[in-house]
Each structure stands twice: as structure tokens, then as C-alpha cells.
Amino acid sequence: MLRSLFTSLFVRILIALAPVAAVFVWVPRQAILSHWIISALALIAWTALHASLFAQSIRRSLLRLEAAVTGIQHVQQTAQPLAYEAIRVGFSDFEDLAYDIAQSSNQVRHLLDESSDGRRRLEAMIDSMQDAVVAVDQAGRIRWANKRTERLVPGASVGRAVRVGYALVQTVRDPEVLECVRAVLERRVVDERRTTSLVPGRIFEAAAAPMPGGGAVLVLHDITRIEQVERTQRDFVANVSHELRTPLTSIAGYVETLLDHEDGLSRQAREFLSTIHKNATRMGRLTEDLLVMTRVESSDHKLNPEPTCADALVRDAVQAMRGLAQDDGATLEIGETTSSLVMSDNDSMIQVLSNLIENGIKYGKTHGDGASRVIVSAAEAQDHAGNSNGMVEFRVRDFGPGIASEHLDRIFERFYRVDKARSRASGGTGLGLAIARHVVQMHGGSIRAESQLNSGSTFIFTLPKAYPAS
């Protein structure tokens, strides 16, 4: 603005002096002197005119300058609070952001502390376990192990502990344990094995399960003491049962002989002898079942399964129980059967079917002491899609009062009875279904019961099919 003002002043002076210079250049000096008054007046008038014009120009420039200054002041007065407000809001936002970051940092630190504490507690708990626990990654390398594992490793007493990051096979050489872990890593299913070669003289139960992030966790449970107690118990039961069987057989034989010559006996003597015979027979059956139970539960008991026609198993079992059914007035029928071959130890499976048929005859009476009806059948088992699943399903059905649903999961336990008074009256030992379950499971099958009150019961077990060699 000032530069424009000085430029305008300089131009106005040049314009004012230009006529004077022209007069002195082109007008003769005599003429100027003779007419100096006129020339002076003209010069004054010219100068006054340009001074007036110049003053107006300066006034307009000053007005514009004043307006510009006023506008700048107004802008400053308006913008300064806005700038202050923007700065204040900006700092306020930064303060809120900084507060949020600090809060988040504290929360993360708290979570990390809790995670560390939880991990330390978990490690302490796992180290305090009596079972050995080992975790491996997908490649079979050890990720961590508890202190119990280190005590099981051969050579740990001389400082050769479990080495994290190394393959499990470099620490554990037992084939059953390694196969258990390999099965879990490949198939992602829980696997259990029993091993006697991990530590000499001790028995371990190895159980492995897949971990969500990959890899597997292995637990080695020492069952040596449990096996010893169970073996002692089985030996005791077997010895007692064996010792009881001979005198019970003698008692039953002598009582039968006396009852055959009942002509010389009084009615009371016959009742006493009948009671003795009944209880001796019941105790004899109990000792036989106990011997069978200890035998099938023993690890030394081996089966000899071979391909057998399912239809033949059903017919042999029905034929063996035909006499009991006739004595009890029961109806024993053969339902639908199949000629498919199953892997079966014939003596054991006929015993299973006989136990189920006997239960149907005893507990399947339709009305109190009425006659029972039992149907035995066999058919190929099918999956949900209706396709064969490689098993044959055997069924023993009665039409008695049925079994309440709360008992169905427990009737295969040893000595469990749904109706204790009724079982004692019928001479049941409570071991028949437990024996059946063990034998079926040893064959690789399963057993279950289906029942509805007042509609009878059906006992179902499966055996794997046997395919003829090609």
C-alpha cells in the first residue's frame, strides 16, 4: 500500500512540472518575461489542480488503508478466539487419547500379570501331580514336562533330564507310549494304552489327547499298586469260590439224595431240606459266577475268536437254554437271524447269550408268576444312513414289566440289582450282566439295554464281522 502511494506522488509531481519545463523549452524568454504574471498564475493554477487531485488520491488510498486495517483487526478479533478454541479442543482430545492409552496399558499389564500368575500356578499344580505329564508339538517334539516325568526318564538321577525341543523318542523309548502319541497326532482323537516296559517292574496307563493349538498332551499314570490290589482281590475271590464249590456241591448232592427218599420224611423235614437245597444251589451258582468274573477280568485271560456264523451262535444258545425255559414254563423263540460271520470265542459268547436269555426268563414274566416269552435274533448293524457298519447286532427281547430309565446305565455293574427282593427270590447273583459286558468288550463290541415300563426289555450287543480270506 505505501509503495503504491509513493509511486502515485512521484507521477503527480512529474505531471505538474512537465508544463513548466515545456514553457521554458519552447516559449521564448522575452515572452515569458513580458507575460510573467500570466505564466505564474497559470503555473499556480496547474499546481493547485494537481495538488487537489493528489490530495483526493491520497484520501482514497488512506480510506482503503483504513478499511484494510479495520478488516485485519476484525479478522484478528474473530480468528483469535477460534484459534484458541481449536488449540484448547485439540489439547483436550490429546488428553483424552493419552488417558485412554494409559488405561489400556494398565489393563494389558494387569492381564499379563494375571496370565503369568495363572501360568505359574498351573505349572506348580502340574509339577505336584503324581502322574507324568508331557506336551509335544505336531512334529512330536517336547514342549514342556513336569518334574514327575523327569524322575521317570532313565538316567535322570545322573542329571540327564527331559530336554525341551527334542523329539519325544529321544526321551521315551517305550513303543506303546510312542504309538499312543502318534495315533493322537495323526487322527486327532483320544488314545489310551497300557504298558509294562516303560519302567521295569511297573505298569503304566498312557492316555494322550489332542491340544487345540496342535500337538498332544500325554499323561502316564502308574497303576502298579492298583493292579496288585486287583490281582490280590481276584486271587482271593477265586480261591474262596473254588474252596466253597466243593462243599456246596456235596451239600446239594446229599440234600437231593434225601429228597429222593422223602417217603420217610415229615413235611417239616421236606421243607427244611428244600430250603437247604435251594440256598446251596444259589451259593453254588454265585461261586461259579465269581470264578467266571475273576477269569474274564484277569489280564491273563485270553480269548480265541474265530469266524463263526451268527445264526449258529443263536441256535446253540437257545438249545442250551431250552431246558430251563421248559422248567419255568417260558416260551423261547428264534427271531430273524443272519448267516454273516462274526469273530467270536464260541464258549464265551454262548455264555453271554445264555445269561441274557436266563434274565429274560426270570424277569420277563408278563403278570407276576405268569409265563415269560423271550425272542433271540441277529441282524447286520447299520449306521444312520442305512449302510452296514461292519458289525452284527444280537438282540434278546422279553415282554415283561420293563426297567426304569434311571437303572439302564447301571445294570451292567457288578452286584447291581433293580429289584433286590425279586432278585433274591429268583436266585440271581447280580453278576450275569457284568460278565456279559466284559466278554463283549473283549471281543471289540458293545452292549446296551433298551426298555420301557410295562413294555418289556431288549438287551443288544454287537460283534465285529469276520470276512473270509480272499
d(CA 17, CA 32): 16
Question: For a pLDDT cut of 70, what percent of the chain falls above it?
Answer: 67
With beta carbons less than 8 A apart as the criterion, state whether 356 and 372 touch: no
Bridge partners, 460 (sequence order)? 395, 448
Instruction: Tell whether the model's pLDDT for residue 26 goes beyond 90.
Output: no
CATH 1.10.287 fits 226-297, yes or no: yes
Q: If pLDDT is split at 50, 70 and 90, which confidence band does 461 have? A: very high
Per the model's pLDDT, the better-predicted residue between 332 and 234 turns out to be 332
Q: What is the mean pLDDT of residues 82-101?
A: 57
- Which one has a higher pLDDT value, 381 or 82? 381
CB-based contacts of 217: which residues, under 8 Å, 6+ apart? 133, 134, 135, 136, 208, 209, 211
Residue 311: per-residue pLDDT: 92
Total Cβ atoms within 10 A of residue 136:
23
For residue 274, what is the enclosing H or E element? helix 267-297
Query: Which triple of cell numbers denotes residue 186?
Result: 495323526
Question: Cα separation of 12 and 14, whole Å?
Answer: 5
Q: Which residue has the higher pLDDT, 85 or 322?
A: 322
Cα(125)–Cα(148) distance, integer angstroms: 12
Q: What is the pLDDT of residue 248?
A: 83
CA distance 147 to 127: 5
Q: What is the SS3 assignment for 200? A: coil
Measured in whole angstroms, how far is the alpha carbon of residue 72 from the centre of its chain? 75
99-108, 220-229, 275-284, 350-359: the lowest-pLDDT one: 99-108
What share of the chain in percent tops pLDDT 90? 6
Residue type for position 305? P
Residues whose CB falls within 8 Å of the CB of residue 379, separated by 6 or more in sequence, listed in order = 336, 337, 338, 392, 393, 395
Q: Where are the alpha helices (DSSP H) in 321-442?
A: 322-328, 346-363, 420-426, 432-442
Q: Taking each helix axis from N to C terminus, what angle separates 267-297 and 432-442, rounded to the nearest 10 degrees?
A: 20
Side chain identity at 64, as an amino acid letter?
A: R
Asked whether 148 and 235 are in contact (CB, 8 A), the reply is no
Give the largest CA-CA distance in the chain. 202
Q: Long-range contact list for 79-86, CB < 8 A, 24+ apart? A: none
Half-sphere exposure of 191 (CA within 13 A, CB side): 21
Q: How far apart are CA 320 and CA 331, in angstroms?
A: 14
Residue type, 388: S
Give 264-307 pLDDT, tens digit per residue. Answer: 778 888 888 888 888 888 888 788 777 777 777 776 667 788 89
* Mean pLDDT value across the chain: 76
Distance CA 414, CA 434 (A): 5
pLDDT at 94 > cutoff 80: no
Distance CA 282, CA 246 (A): 14
The x, y and z cell numbers of residue 97, run together, are 487419547
What confidence tens digit (pLDDT) does each residue in 358-400 have?
888 888 776 556 678 899 999 988 777 767 778 899 999 988 8
- Region 131-141: mean pLDDT is 86
Has domain 306-464 been given CATH number 3.30.565.10?
Answer: yes
CA dihedral 177, 179, 184, 186 (to 10 degrees): 150
- Grid cell for residue 199: 519302567
Grid look-up 474262596 returns: 240
C-alpha cell at 417: 440289582
> How far is C-alpha 47 from the chain's CA centre?
110
Task: Give CA–CA dist 192/203, Å, rounded.
Answer: 14
Q: CB neighbours of 372 closer than 8 A, spacing ≥ 6?
A: 325, 328, 329, 330, 331, 360, 361, 362, 364, 365, 366, 398, 399, 400
The mean pLDDT value for 324-345 works out to: 87
3-state secondary structure of 90: helix
What does the DSSP assignment read for 10-34? HHHHHHHHHHHHHHHHHS-HHHHHH
Q: Over 70: is that where the pLDDT of 34 sits?
A: no
Q: Which residues pair with 334 in a beta bridge?
A: 376
CATH superfamily of 130-222: PAS domain (3.30.450.20)
pLDDT of amino acid 10: 56
pLDDT average, residue stretch 40-53 = 60
Q: What is the average per-residue pLDDT within 229-235? A: 79
Q: For residue 27, give the amino acid letter.
A: V
Q: Cα(363)–Cα(424) distance, rounded to whole angstroms? A: 12
- Please give the grid coordinates belonging to residue 176: 506303546
Which pLDDT does position 11 carry in this prediction? 59
